Amino acid sequence: MDINTTIKEIKQSFRLMMDGAVAKSMRDKGLDYKLNWGATLPRLREKADEIGKNYDLAIALWKENVRECKILATMIMPADRMLSEVVDIWMEQTPTQEIAEQAAFNLYQYLPYAPAKAYTWMASEKELYQLCGFHILSRLFMNGQEPNERGINEFIDQALAALQGNSIPVKKAALSAVQRFAELGLVYERIAKSAIKRANLDFL
């Protein structure tokens, strides 16, 4: 079956998952997709499991300006086959906070070069890039990946900048990453606490 036919069938399956209340609540929050069926994430995950990992299909789905297609693309893309340049293109084309978070959780945290991307994005001027960077690091810390000394300093600097910034989503992502960092062990907890204290942000 060719990819266009497959995509057509996938899109038809979204109709069955349609949830008007979810779609409306997203529109009310300003999440404006060209097409949004309001399919819930568990339903999309089931669909992804049914399809399995598929590089070409993921690339084709991502090109569709449809919320569900983009999320599904992040779920079926094999992380070990995704080139760094493709990740950069996807990141540039990421339309909303939801898609950025889904990409970080479903895909970017598993990339072989995930830490490098996370550190680059965390230092970006763009809000969605920062958000993605902190979410990836949160996941890596949760999985017990410890940064080296340079990584620690860079992470703490960027996290403090984010926590003192104006973007609520980025603040939340940075705070979550700092908490995960502190959970890596006593030394990390002390580093996090003293940094937070220095910045007069005492909440750890």
Q: Is the pLDDT of residue 204 over 60?
A: no
Which CA distances in Å does 174 have to 45, 49, 71, 112?
Answer: 26, 30, 23, 22
Q: Residue 198: pLDDT band by 50, 70, 90 thresholds?
A: confident
Q: Is the pLDDT of residue 1 over 90?
A: no
d(CA 96, CA 145): 28
Q: CB of 113 within 8 A of CB of 82?
A: no
Which CA distances in Å does 110 have to 122, 157, 167, 188, 198?
Answer: 17, 24, 26, 23, 33
Q: What is the pLDDT of residues 171-181, one digit of tens each?
A: 999 999 999 99
Mean pLDDT of 171-192: 96
Q: Is the pLDDT of residue 185 over 60?
A: yes
pLDDT given at position 40: 86
pLDDT given at position 15: 78
Q: Where are the beta strands (DSSP E) in 19-172?
A: none
For all residues of the chain together, what is the average pLDDT? 91
Residues of the chain with CATH 1.25.10: 113-204
Question: Structure pTM?
Answer: 0.88
Report the SS3 class of residue 58: helix
Task: Find all residues with CB under 8 Å of 68, minimum gap 6, and list them.
Answer: 11, 14, 17, 36, 37, 39, 44
Q: Residue 141: pLDDT band by 50, 70, 90 thresholds?
A: very high
Q: What is the pLDDT of residues 76-90, one digit of tens each?
A: 999 999 999 999 999
Assigned architecture for domain 113-204: Alpha Horseshoe (1.25)
